[in-house]
Amino acid sequence: MMIHILPEFDSPISPENADVILVVGASRGIGLAFVEALLKQPDLLKPSAIGKSLVILAACRQPHGVEALLTLQRDYPNRLALLTLDVTEANAFVALSQQLKVLTPVLHAVIYTVGLLHEPATENQKALKPEKALSQLRLDDVMRSFVVNAWAPILLAQAISPFIPRQQAFNFSSLSARVGSIGDNQLGGWYSYRAAKAAQNQFLKTWSIELARTHPLATVLILHPGTTNTELSRPFSAHVSAEKLFSTERVAHDLLRVIEARGPESSGKFFDWANELVPW
């Protein structure tokens, strides 16, 4: 793993001076919108003490190739560091934990935004598409979905656990999807994606119970962003009305308001962008 920082960036970051937020999946879509919003309007997720600043660690597979992130880093050299993280590689999370030790002793918040619903075919693997019928279900497709949508969020939780403060508030938020709700499933189909998101929900709910025993000020949130105008949703949003197809900027702001509003009493629960509970 590489840390992409400018000379002006000071590390390790003193927890007395700044709160550190890790955003995973920061190269595009909702993840990039989170980074932009937190840099430009840090009051959206208030620092834990007056006078502190917010420092963002933006992680994605190839940050050096994302011009939007590089531009933000030039604009905010003391508040943004770029980390390389491939969420499909389990060892990458071990490396992430090691690199975090270089940058900060504690984290104020972590936001996981990566999702996988479809992928084009490559030389090494066939295209991934959501199943419309049971006959289309294949084990390799299930595993590809689970790696990103279920395993990665809980591996991230494991990797960042040493950086969760015991004496101050901490938030871990992960983007799930309403289609992962068993109780809300009215249409069927999308077997792999539904099951992987439901598994993520169970993983994080279980972790929230364990975490509460040792870190009573910590909050774990599972978030549904709504239908968002991203590459993930675009092939399936043709019939979504304009008022129900959200921009990434709106979703980032809405979800940051949810994160800010919710505390330990809400840990392990599933909320949508409007701060409403989603059924399991």
Predicted local distance difference test score (pLDDT) of residue 233: 57
Q: Do 73 and 4 touch, CB atoms closer than 8 A?
A: yes
In whole angstroms, what is the distance from residue 280 CA to residue 70 CA? 39
In whole angstroms, what is the distance from residue 211 CA to residue 268 CA? 10
| Whether the predicted pLDDT of 30 surpasses 90 | yes
Predicted local distance difference test score (pLDDT) of residue 140: 93
**Model pLDDT for residues 115-166, shown as the tens digit of each residue:** 999 777 777 788 889 899 999 999 999 999 999 999 999 999 999 999 999 9
Residues in the chain: 280
| Whether the predicted pLDDT of 27 surpasses 60 | yes
Rounded alpha-carbon distances, angstroms, from residue 269 to 34, 39, 262, 279: 21, 27, 10, 9
Helix, strand, coil share (%) of the chain residues, nearest 5: 45, 15, 40
Domains in the chain: ranges and CATH? 3-119+163-272 (3.40.50.720)
In whole angstroms, what is the distance from residue 215 CA to residue 208 CA? 10
Query: Sign of the CA dihedral 24, 1, 21, 8?
Result: negative
Predicted local distance difference test score (pLDDT) of residue 103: 92
pTM: 0.92
Confidence of residue 238 (pLDDT cuts 50, 70, 90): low
Rounded alpha-carbon distances, angstroms, from residue 13 to 8, 64, 128, 162, 226: 12, 22, 41, 16, 34
Q: Could you identify the residue written with the tokens 């940050």?
A: 63
**Percentage above 90 pLDDT, the chain:** 73
Predicted local distance difference test score (pLDDT) of residue 37: 96
| Whether the predicted pLDDT of 3 surpasses 70 | no
| Whether the predicted pLDDT of 243 surpasses 90 | no
Write out the two tokens for 237.
Answer: 């949003």
Q: Do 69 and 58 touch, CB atoms closer than 8 A?
A: yes
